[in-house]
Structure 1
Amino acid sequence: MTELITEPSRRRRRGPGVGRPIWMGRPPAVVLALKALALIVIVALIAFPFLIVVSTSLATEAEINAGGGYVLLPTTPTLDAYLQVLAGDVVTRAIVVSLGVTVVGTAVSLVSTVLAAYALSRRGTLLHRPLLTLVLLTFLFTPGLIPIYLMIKQLGLLDSYWALILPGAVSAFNLVIVRGFFMGIPGELLDSARIDGASEFRILAQIVVPLSRAVIAVIGMFYAVGYWNAFFSALLYLNDSTKWPLQLVLRTYVLQGTPIGKEAAEVGVLPPTQALQMAVVVLAIIPIACIYPFLQRHFRRGVLTGAVKG
């Protein structure tokens, strides 16, 4: 009597793991080794320039001259460049300005983006489709530099910190990402809250936002990095050098290589020019480098989920 062999029994006879998609199986040892090698190369390409920057900022003038302007590992490290940079009021004030603009700007951008994304994610809201179309059109057409400057001038925002925040308060890309994430939240959950008498703001604050912490953390990181690294808007809108953020002061250090403002009149023997430049670069990198590890775990979940849902 012929045995009837079904597909499930045939799969069991062939052993576990047979018939699974190729991406679900364990890669061969050669593939794992190549991945490890590629990862090591990428880490080296990123870490090597950073090591040179930190080492040069700690090096003496003799070591910098011997190394042709850059040092890999200083034999006699010194903090003279950092002490010189932080001794005056220019860099310290710029750090405070950058921190303030980053914190306030990120808060304004997150609140605006979350509110707009929630409104655009609920079908049937007022002017839902026209507003969404306008947001998507910004990917194709961007305003020119002169119109933006004239608008900032007409609003009286020149030489104001708000000129660094309001023009880029909402990013269309971030808005689309957050909207896609919100659309992935089950509508039945929101409907049950409405039946219980919850308002839209309460639904957003107590249901939608707690479920969207991953994407909000990612978008917040994007905004924070953008505000912290921005210098071109300050170069356009801030004529008062006492209001300059750290990135604009860093640009001045890189171009001039010497202290500016009050610092330039009070210095005696200066540390090497390259050491001063690299010290300001390190000071500009440290805040973001300290925050990123705490938010890195949210990046994959937040960005991918917001990009594919909806």
Structure 2
Amino acid sequence: MTTIRESRNDRIFKAFIYSFLIVILIIVLYPLIYIISASISDPTLVSSGKMWLWPKGINFDGYKLIFQDDQIWIGYLNTIYYTVLGVLISLAITLPAAYALSRRKLVGGNFFMMMFAFTMFFSGGLVPTYLLVKNLGLVNTVGAMVLPNAAAVWNIIVCRTFFQVTIPKELEEAAIIDGCSTTKLFFKVVIPLSMPIIAVMALFYGVGQWNDYFNALIYLSDKEKYPLQMILRQILVLQELGNDNMATSISNSAAEAMQHSQSLADIMKYAIIIVSTLPMIIVYPFLQRFFVKGVMIGSIKG
């Protein structure tokens, strides 16, 4: 068996590539490691800069303060509910729309595609959108959290390309000859063959729904319906206001206590970041094997 010997230029190029990837890896990993370490370290060591990578003076006060509030658990349940429901609704809209647009026999398909694409560049604006949601009676309801952003045009385009590349018309014709209706064709043939893109779309919509707080800020007034991100935002805002008010009325003898409180507030911020992102980090590895395949097939045709 003959082996191909690498030239000197090849070795230099490979060394450059590995060095570049290592640098990128460090740039990506350092903030993540720092946030995790800061969230469980002594607040004074973090604020003084003595903790710069690994945890020092293990301290879980930030997590204790967060989870002492029952609203956190209510927010978690609300966010899980909004995310699951939102993903199901988004997939129920995106997949049929994309499949219909991918079929050449759709009358006016190009026109509909142009209208879809038009909304990517021009929208009605915030005020008209709010008035629409209000007139539909969705203000302060679950619908306000899952319906306004139920479908993303870019995701429809990606799915459309996936169906064009993956589902050949010969397969469709064979199923129809065997007596398969259009609806049965979609659910029995197309959907089982489209699991990679479905997983990718579920991840895209799920992450967007999980991180969304803007709709809650605009449309929700009942705190019992707040998602997790909205509650965490309130904690941060109230903490900032509390520290500012304390700073204006503090005496010199309480300066040290004030500094400790500020340090604890900073630690709480790091803990909030971990609490709000951990579920998505846990879910991603289970969908990773579909991610690259689904995106590549859905983004490139030919």
Residue 221 of structure 2 is matched in structure 1 by 239
- 2:27 corresponding residue in structure 1: 45
1:225 aligns with 2:217: no
Match of 1:31 among 3, 9, 13: 13
Match of 1:284 in 2: 276
Q: Distance in 1 between matches of 2:204 and 2:298?
A: 14
**Structure 2 residue matching 1:75: 3-state secondary structure:** coil
* CA–CA separation in structure 1 for the residues paired with 2:239 and 2:25: 30
**Structure 1's 65 and 123: CA in aligned 2 closer, same or farther, altered over 3 A?**
closer
- What is the alpha-carbon distance in structure 2 between the residues aligned to residue 156 and residue 114 of structure 1? 27
Displacement after TM superposition at 1:248 (Å): 1.5
- State yes or no: 1:191 paired with 2:173: yes
Partner in structure 2 of residue 273 of structure 1: 265
Q: Which amino acid aligns with 1:274?
A: D
Q: Which residue of 2 aligns with 1:138?
A: 119
C-alpha offsets along residues 93-118 of structure 1, whole Å, 9 cap, x if unaligned?
11111111111101110111011111
1:156 matched residue in structure 2: 137
Please give the root-mean-square deviation of Cα atoms over the aligned residues, in Å: 2.5
Q: Which moved more, 1:113-122 or 1:146-155?
A: 113-122
TM value normalised by structure 1: 0.83
- Specify every segment of 5 or more residues in structure 1 that has no aligned partner in the other structure, as ranges: 1-14, 18-26, 261-268
In the TM superposition, what is the alpha-carbon distance from 1:71 to its structure 2 partner?
5.0
- Does structure 1 conserve the Cα–Cα contact (< 8 Å) formed by 2:42 and 2:56? no
Q: Is the 8 A contact 1:98 1:245 kept in 2?
A: yes
Aligned partner letter, 2:222: D
**In 2, distance between residues paired with 1:140 and 1:134?**
11
User: How far, CA to CA, are the matches of 2:54 and 2:235 in structure 1?
Assistant: 23
Alignment correspondent of 2:256: none
1:84 — aligned with what?
65
Structure 1 SS opposite 2:56? coil
Query: Take 2:106 and 2:228, find their aligned partners in 1: how far apart are those partners?
Result: 42
TM-score, structure 2 length as denominator? 0.85
- Alignment deviations for residues 199-232 of structure 1 (CA, whole Å, 9 cap, x no partner): 1121111211122111111111111111011111
Q: Does the 8 A contact of 1:63 with 1:74 survive in 2? A: no
User: Computing the radius of gyration over CA atoms, which structure comes out larger, 1 or 2?
Assistant: 1
Matched, 1:170 2:151: yes
Q: Deviations over 1:244-279 (max 9, x none)?
A: 11112222233333799xxxxxxxx97811121111
Between Structure 1 and Structure 2, the one with more helix by share is 2
CA contact (8 A) 1:58 1:74 kept: yes
Q: Tell whether 2:65 aligns with 1:73.
A: no
> In structure 2, what is the Cα distance between the partners aligned to 1:291 and 1:285?
10
Q: Is the 8 A contact 2:62 2:267 kept in 1?
A: yes
Cross-structure match for 2:190 = 208
Report which stretch shifted further, 29-38 or 172-181: 29-38
1:254 maps to which of 236, 239, 246? 236
SS of the aligned residue for 1:98 comes to helix
- Separation of aligned partners in 2, 1:29 and 1:291: 38
**Structure 1 partner of 2:87:** 106
Q: State the Cα distance separating 1:83 from its structure 2 match.
A: 2.2
Tell me how far 1:297 sits from its aligned partner: 2.6
Segment drifting more, 248-257 vs 215-224: 248-257
1:133 shift after superposition = 1.9
In the alignment, the residues of structure 2 paired with residue 228 and residue 31 of structure 1 have an alpha-carbon distance, to the nearest angstrom, of 41
Q: Deviations over 1:144-196 (max 9, x none)?
A: 01110000110111111211110111110000110111112211111000001
**Cross-structure match for 1:309:** 301
